[in-house]
């Protein structure tokens, strides 16, 4: 497992009734490992509870990691634990920053954030502004009272490049994604993070775009991937370095089976959204049933990578470089 950092909670600030801003620092006051805009960290809570949160601060600030946490209506334990237990002065373990949502060179960047999904985009906006790059941040929420970080945004040099939409249940008040993304533009990069409904809507509206120009940060399972679970079948996995062969049952993941056997497979989200368990495949690539939300087509087809926590084989045997 990757080395974790032990950090101090500097502050916990209520942004809205259901969103809190968290600031973390090194207990000794030292510099933290660097991160890029779009990065996230794993936060280790009680027991085996681990959740991923985007870093929303300035990558040039080496003294702090800043997170925004939404109390989910149907929390699986992570956000509820933070709201119930996280207080200034306590220490907790976090992972090194990991980036599956990096910025790319472009004449113009379109940032689309829904609710708490704005957090990685705030970091991106800071970097784009510092570079002098052209961008627009579209910030979508239900209403102004649910819109976090407005005061902070208002104090930035790029505040006029942020457009807020408070839909409040009325589609006519929302952002017209079809109009915004009409006609693919080779000189433009699109980034989206937010609720599943927004992510799928942006994916549909940008269907004609080059996939290299449209990027998503998923922190829940893509519904298209989740629907595949009903078709699970058993298959075999061979470990190239040892020759061991394991049978993966319909209700088992590759990661779980290999971890139970004592093999060094790192996992975190177990949903194909964090990238911790990405592994090269040496044989059987044509049989992989990819169910992650982070690997690109090139990473899957040309580099032969897969996520062991959720992706499977359609049949036959996979040989892993592990």
Q: What does the pLDDT read at residue 1?
A: 46
Domain boundary (174, 189, 217) is at 217
Write out pLDDT tens, residues 51-89.
999 999 999 999 999 999 999 877 667 899 999 999 999
CA 150, CA 147: separation in Å to the nearest integer?
Answer: 7
Q: What does the pLDDT read at residue 302?
A: 86
Quick check: is 222 in a domain?
no
Quick check: is 14 in a domain?
yes
The neighbour count for residue 161, using CB atoms within 10 Å, is 16
Domain of 69: which CATH number?
A: 2.40.30.10
Co-location of 127 and 204 in the same domain:
yes
pLDDT-derived band at 171, boundaries 50, 70, 90: low
Q: Which residue has the higher pLDDT, 233 or 148?
A: 148
Position 306 pLDDT exceeds 60: yes
In angstroms, what CA-CA distances link 16 with 70, 148, 249, 313? 9, 6, 44, 44
Co-location of 268 and 306 in the same domain:
yes
Co-location of 172 and 137 in the same domain:
yes
Write out pLDDT tens, residues 117-137.
999 999 999 999 999 999 999
Q: Which domain holds residue 61?
A: 4-95
Quick check: is 275 in a domain?
yes
Position 2 pLDDT exceeds 80: no
Question: Out of 221-225, 274-278, 315-319, which region has the weakest mean confidence (pLDDT)?
Answer: 221-225
Co-location of 206 and 249 in the same domain:
no
Nearest alpha-carbon partner for 10 in 61, 72, 80, 77: 61
Co-location of 209 and 144 in the same domain:
yes
What is the pTM for the complete model shown?
A: 0.82
Domain of 161: which CATH number?
A: 3.40.50.80
Q: Burial, 178: exposed, middle or buried (Cβ in 10 Å; 0-12, 13-18, 19+)?
A: exposed
Co-location of 205 and 120 in the same domain:
yes
The count of structural domains within the chain is 3
Q: What does the pLDDT read at residue 247?
A: 94
Q: What does the pLDDT read at residue 266?
A: 86
Beta-sheet strands, E only, within the chain = 4-16, 19-25, 40-44, 50-54, 65-70, 91-95, 108-114, 134-141, 162-166, 188-193, 214-217, 235-239, 245-248, 278-283, 288-289, 305-307, 312-313, 317-320
pLDDT-derived band at 174, boundaries 50, 70, 90: confident
DSSP string, 78-117: HHHHHHHH--TT-EEEEEPPB-SS-----SEEEEEEEGGG
Q: Which residue has the higher pLDDT, 190 or 195?
A: 190
Quick check: is 100 in a domain?
no
Nearest alpha-carbon partner for 65 in 87, 83, 43, 48: 43
Domain of 280: which CATH number?
A: 3.10.20.30
Co-location of 51 and 82 in the same domain:
yes
312-313 and 40-44: which strand pairing? unpaired
Quick check: is 88 in a domain?
yes
Co-location of 58 and 32 in the same domain:
yes
Quick check: is 72 in a domain?
yes
Question: Out of 202-206, 238-242, 267-271, which region has the weakest mean confidence (pLDDT)?
Answer: 267-271
CA 207, CA 190: separation in Å to the nearest integer?
Answer: 12
Question: Out of 1-10, 96-105, 147-156, 187-196, which region has the weakest mean confidence (pLDDT)?
Answer: 1-10
Q: What does the pLDDT read at residue 75?
A: 63
Q: Which residue has the higher pLDDT, 47 or 138?
A: 138
Quick check: is 179 in a domain?
yes
Quick check: is 102 in a domain?
no
Co-location of 190 and 157 in the same domain:
yes
Strand partners, 65: 24
The neighbour count for residue 157, using CB atoms within 10 Å, is 9
Write out pLDDT tens, residues 28-38.
999 999 999 99
What is the pLDDT of the chain when averaged over all its residues? Answer: 91
Q: What does the pLDDT read at residue 66?
A: 98
């Amino acid at each position: 497992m990757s080395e974790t950092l032990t950090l101090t909670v500097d502050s916990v600030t209520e942004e809205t009734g259901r969103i809190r801003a968290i600031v973390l620092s090194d207990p000794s006051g030292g510099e933290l490992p660097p991160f890029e805009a779009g990065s996230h960290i794993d936060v280790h809570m009680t027991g085996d509870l681990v959740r991923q949160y985007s870093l929303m601060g300035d990558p040039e600030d080496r003294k702090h990691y800043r997170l925004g946490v939404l109390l989910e209506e149907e929390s699986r334990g992570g956000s509820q634990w933070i709201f119930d237990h996280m207080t200034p002065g306590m220490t907790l373990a976090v992972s090194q920053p990991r980036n599956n949502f990096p910025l790319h060179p472009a004449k113009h960047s379109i940032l689309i954030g829904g609710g708490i999904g704005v957090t990685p985009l705030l970091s991106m906006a800071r970097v784009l502004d510092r570079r002098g790059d052209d961008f627009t941040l579209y910030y979508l929420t239900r209403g102004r009272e649910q819109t976090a970080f407005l005061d902070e945004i208002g104090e930035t040099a790029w505040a006029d490049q942020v457009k807020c939409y408070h839909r409040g249940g009325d589609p006519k008040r929302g952002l017209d994604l079809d109009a915004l993304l009409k006609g693919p533009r080779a000189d433009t990069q699109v980034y989206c993070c937010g609720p599943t409904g927004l992510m799928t809507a942006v994916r549909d509206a940008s269907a004609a775009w080059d996939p290299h120009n449209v990027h998503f940060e998923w922190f829940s399972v893509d519904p298209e991937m989740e629907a595949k679970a009903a078709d699970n079948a058993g298959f075999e996995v061979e470990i190239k370095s040892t020759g061991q062969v394991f049978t993966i049952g319909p209700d088992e993941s590759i990661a779980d089976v290999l971890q139970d056997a004592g093999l060094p497979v790192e996992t975190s989200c177990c949903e194909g959204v964090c990238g911790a368990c990405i592994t090269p495949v040496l044989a059987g690539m044509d049989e992989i049933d990819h169910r992650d939300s982070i690997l690109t087509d090139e990473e899957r087809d040309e580099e032969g990578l897969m996520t062991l926590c959720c992706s499977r084989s359609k049949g036959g045997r996979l040989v892993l470089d592990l």
